[in-house]
Structure 1
Amino acid sequence: MRQSKRAYWRKLDNAAKLFPATSNERDTRVFRFYCELRETIVEELLQKAVDKTLKKYPVFLSVMRKGLFWHYLEKSELRPVVREENKEPCSNIYVKDKKSLLFEVTYYKKRINFEVYHALTDGTGATEFLRELVKNYLVIAHAEEELADMPLLTKEITVADQEDDGFNKYYSKKGSAGKQKKKKAFQIKRPNKEFGELQVTEATMSVGQLLKRSRELGVSMTVLLSTVFLCAIHEEMTKLQEHKPVVLMVPVNLRKFFPSSSMLNFFWWIEPFYQFGGEDDSFEAVLAHVKTFFKEELTQEKISENMNTLISLEHHPILRLAPLELKNLCINAGARFSERDTTAIFSNMSVVSMPEVYEPYIRRFGVFTSTPKVELCMCSFRDTITLGFTSRHDSTNIQRNFFRILSELGVDSVIEEPEYPPERHERSIGAMFFKGFSFACLVLIVAAVAVDVCLKMKFHWPLWAAGGVASMWMALAIGFSKRHNLLKNAMWQLIAVPVMCILWDVFTGWKGWSIDYVLPAVCVLVQLSMFIISRLQSHTAREYMIYYVMASGYGIVVPLVLMLVHCVSLTFPSVICIGVSFIMLMALVIFKGRELKEEMQKKFHL
């Protein structure tokens, strides 16, 4: 395949902008696509297969970075290391401030797992990567048998094609859909599992059997399964809960409507629903309603209108100029608000096809995802459909109802018992230490207040003790939250330490020591620490550039302003700070001018 040069960085596509702002431990925005072979996986061979696959799909070698207005993806020299599965499926991959790849390849016995953060790609992109990975593994593992290396794609795809942003390509200002008021959907409320772990229920069934029954009912398999899902949820509702509709979110692959070879996110969604508690809650009535809904919503014109509406928000001049942290707060709030519009999620990843020569080595493909709701994912290989239910609830009643209704329709399913490593509920040592430290700080403050009250001391020393403890806690909290990026940690300390010292100065009777000595000293020390950190960690200019610029700018502007407004009584520390900061900034401009320009373009892109 002919390759073209990768861009060093690229903007997130429209759908991907949502994920960095909303992902957390409960909703990691990670999904797993896996392949179960008929033979035990060999780690060394799988590593070779991964390395070979990445030569074809280098767009996956990216890390998430933060700009002033948007997140973006940056080309990385990091390489994935294959390992045996050892943690909960769909665990966190994107860690804020940590420079790491956004996918993982693991294995367990006969299963190859490909887990990916949704901001990097969607189900279609993940399918193509996994297909190529499985093919490469089989070719390497069966080299002695001279297993043929068959191409999986019918046309030549360049790196530029893989990085193509379908949303921007097909966006038009015309034809945006009007805003429609939605009724709040029924929410499934069940006790979560003890440790909040992801619960996975998988089953397989015959493609032929389900397809035959769907044709008899005059609907597609997706419409039939959506209806079964709605009815399975309804069986767990009370009469009082029926005043709210049951709503599914069903992602739609836009490549079926708008030609694209993009490996990025390129999907939309529709929301089939049914208002139970009316005159007719029969399966036939729900099926007819869902069939009509799919027919009306799955048109190129309708999807284009909805897509244009979403993208127009991104292009709004005021929203574009809003700082990233403000955007994240708004996106997060909007996402949480929108969660009330849907009850559950159903993702159909469609057919996974492989050349006939590889089929005897493969048992099945499967897919499921991390979710705060109940989600059903589906894919098929040959005559086998694999369904994967995920939730964090300590109940499988909806799953039970789903498979029973299918059985009543004449579609048999077999519950799979996939093999996983022994369950682990290991807590982060760092997180436990921070919680212990926070509790110890609280105990010290309470003890100080209790002693003061009991002894009735005139000098209220607990206030000083509480201030000291709070200062220690603040410094450690910043250090802990930014521990994955020492340069960013130093930048936060540059702001936090002077602020805490100024507060101490104010409440102890203003003497000015905080701005005369502490502020300029901290500015110089932080810049020196950044220089040492970047050298010890062998950072490239692009990695440390923005932090040097911010620290130097802070070291010039803040002391200079304080001097101009005559807040500083002793000037020489501030003058030294300004001089050091100016020299640091000019060194960047003179010796790293090109990198500085590129970094500013990335960080300030709108």
Structure 2
Amino acid sequence: MAAYSSPKRAKTPLESSAIMNRPYPFRADKSRAFPSPAVLESLPFDVYLHNMPIWYRLDNAGKLYPSVSGNRTTTVFRLSAHLSAPVHAGRIQTALNNLMPRFPFFAVHLKRGVFWYSLKKSTRLPLVEQDSKYPCTDYPLLRRGIFPFRVRCRGNLIAVEFSHVLTDGTGALIFLQSLLAEYLHLSGVPRQDCRGLPVPGEAALPEESEDAFKRFGNPLLPPPRTLDKAFHLPLSLEQKGRYRITTGIIPLKPLKEQAGQFGTGINNFLTAVMLYSFEQMLQDMPPDMRRRVTAPIRINVPVNLRKFWPTASTRNFFVSIEPEIDPRLGNWSFEEILENVSCYMNTEMRPRFLAARMGRNLRSEQNILARLAPLGVKNMFLPGLYARYGTNLYTSGLSNLGAVSMPEHLRPYIQRFDFIPAPAMDEKVKASVISWNKHIYMNFGRLVRPAITELYVFRTLVGMGIPVKVESNGP
């Protein structure tokens, strides 16, 4: 197979290093091939193997995902960075090899047990893969020996895709930041202080692999209210394996100013824009179709619990809150929706109410029937329960990772970051937000062909005087 390398041209300062000047060939097949023994023997395996347990239990959020993972609901999300020069796949592989001993908790694969899946340590390493048109798809998570994450590249892009079995957006972002730092240093950028980022040569902290749900959660707390089914877009799903991405590139300043005029922050503002856009879609439907809508419009908004309970854990540690409007109560103006969202967020984003959600999730895990049911039985029933009590309750989702920070000496070599949500069959369209260098990158992932949601959202923003540049991976 032909080696992967960039076209011949004058080298930029980023590419001037003599390290790893040979191209790195990708494997022809899509099985998760592993490095040769020579590569494995070059690693400090006294650190890599002995600083971690043989196996881990899945955390409270991760336990559900192996049983519900499939061709469409893959449980896989993506974080990526565009650099200022084409990337070198072999150098990325070296950076990944160097970094894995620092993240021993990620050097695992799923192990099937009698009652639950678990994470078992692996003595192998993941190989960098060539990127494909559709992200977060074609991921055989349950295949033997498969890592619950992968590193991909093409052009000037480096991407990491993680299953929620392993970690959440915060844990994945920490890994990507460290991978970028190591890659840029191998590419000739002088090594300077990367304080705050895990770097090769450091020992992993025990707290980084802790299940923070168990440490901070209390299953005895009263649960939050029970939700009913939400409104879903009346659109047919695309064929399996297709996940269409539309990105809106939004200047941070006008967005922040517009949100400030309403007396709120960017997250509340964008959540209100999402709800308002769905409300406008309903208003534009034929009257007979609109009359059949008997469910609220509800957005799933993940909350990073590390902001409320300090932990260095790189595992899952989040709960979801669910701002909504009910179209059966009449038409909603944007101002009404934003006021409703702000009041809801101000209440639900308090530790006592977040703790109640954490407690509910822990209590369901400790249910005696759930604990004693064999894994085969769980695999039969959990997908239906996940749809009924999970994705079926949300019209869409909006996940905001906030602003990315990188060491100052590395910033000139990074053009942008992107955050793509995991696909879900019931929600059909979801959005994720990340900020870098005075821009917001709002990525929509959809399992349907028409880009209706994105059209309404971006049209709403432009109507408020906020410019939006739109990109897509297909029609």
Sort the TM-score into its range (normalised by shorter chain). 0.7 to 0.9
- Structure 1 distance, partners of 2:128, 2:451, is 33
Alignment of 1:341-380 (within 5 A): 341-371=393-423, 372=425, 373-380=428-435
The answer as to whether partners of 2:399 and 2:421 remain within 8 angstroms in 1 is no
SS at 2:408 equivalent = coil
Verify: 1:224 aligned to 2:276, yes or no: no
Report the residue type matching 2:392 in the other structure.
Answer: R
TM-score normalized by structure 2?
Answer: 0.83
TM-superposed deviation, 1:52: 1.7
Verify: 1:62 aligned to 2:108, yes or no: yes
Alpha-carbon RMSD: 2.2
Which protein shows a greater Rg? 1
- Matched-pair identity in %: 28
Question: Quick one: which of 208, 216, 223 aligns to 2:253?
Answer: 208
Q: Alpha carbons of 1:323 and 1:182: their partners in 2 closer, same or farther (altered >3 Å)?
A: same
TM-superposed deviation, 1:321: 1.7
- Structure 2 distance, partners of 1:164, 1:173, is 18
Aligned to 2:4: none
- Structure 2 distance, partners of 1:24, 1:401, is 29
SS at 1:16 equivalent = coil
Aligned to 1:388: 443
Alignment of 1:506-517 (within 5 A): none
**Alpha-carbon displacement from aligned partner over 1:404-433 (angstroms, at most 9, x marks no partner):** 101122221111356x9xx9xxxxxxxxxx
SS at 1:385 equivalent = strand
TM-superposed deviation, 1:58: 1.7
Aligned to 2:118: 72
Alignment of 1:194-593 (within 5 A): 194=239, 197-237=242-282, 238=285, 239-338=290-389, 339-371=391-423, 372=425, 373-417=428-472
Aligned to 2:185: 139
- Structure 2 distance, partners of 1:259, 1:92, is 35
Question: Structure 1 segments of 4 or more deviating over 6 A?
Answer: 154-157
- Structure 2 distance, partners of 1:325, 1:417, is 40
The answer as to whether partners of 2:244 and 2:472 remain within 8 angstroms in 1 is no
TM-superposed deviation, 1:336: 1.5
What is the count of residue pairs matched by the alignment? 416
Aligned to 2:195: 151
Q: Alpha carbons of 1:206 and 1:176: their partners in 2 closer, same or farther (altered >3 Å)?
A: same
Verify: 1:185 aligned to 2:230, yes or no: yes
Query: Mean alpha-carbon deviation: is it higher for 150-159 or for 225-234?
Result: 150-159
**Alpha-carbon displacement from aligned partner over 1:214-257 (angstroms, at most 9, x marks no partner):** 12111111111011111111222233144321001111111111
TM-superposed deviation, 1:97: 4.2
Report the residue type matching 2:145 in the other structure.
Answer: K
Query: Mean alpha-carbon deviation: is it higher for 281-290 or for 190-199?
Result: 190-199
Query: Mind listing any 5+ residue stretches in structure 1 that lack a counterpart?
Result: 424-606
The answer as to whether partners of 1:6 and 1:159 remain within 8 angstroms in 2 is no
Structure in which a larger fraction of residues adopt strand: 2
Aligned to 1:460: none
Query: Mind listing any 5+ residue stretches in structure 2 that lack a counterpart?
Result: 1-46
- Structure 2 distance, partners of 1:274, 1:307, is 24
- Structure 2 distance, partners of 1:119, 1:91, is 15
- Structure 2 distance, partners of 1:181, 1:115, is 32
TM-score normalized by structure 1?
Answer: 0.66
Report the residue type matching 1:361 in the other structure.
Answer: Y
Q: Alpha carbons of 1:154 and 1:37: their partners in 2 closer, same or farther (altered >3 Å)?
A: closer
- Structure 2 distance, partners of 1:366, 1:273, is 26
Alignment of 1:63-142 (within 5 A): 63-86=109-132, 88-142=134-188
- Structure 1 distance, partners of 2:397, 2:330, is 26
The answer as to whether partners of 2:400 and 2:434 remain within 8 angstroms in 1 is yes
SS at 2:441 equivalent = strand
Verify: 1:28 aligned to 2:80, yes or no: no
Aligned to 1:472: none
- Structure 2 distance, partners of 1:122, 1:33, is 11
**Alpha-carbon displacement from aligned partner over 1:66-111 (angstroms, at most 9, x marks no partner):** 1111110000012111132246311233432422111111111000
- Structure 1 distance, partners of 2:458, 2:186, is 39
Q: Alpha carbons of 1:59 and 1:196: their partners in 2 closer, same or farther (altered >3 Å)?
A: closer
Report the residue type matching 1:344 in the other structure.
Answer: S
Structure in which a larger fraction of residues adopt helix: 1
Aligned to 1:39: 85
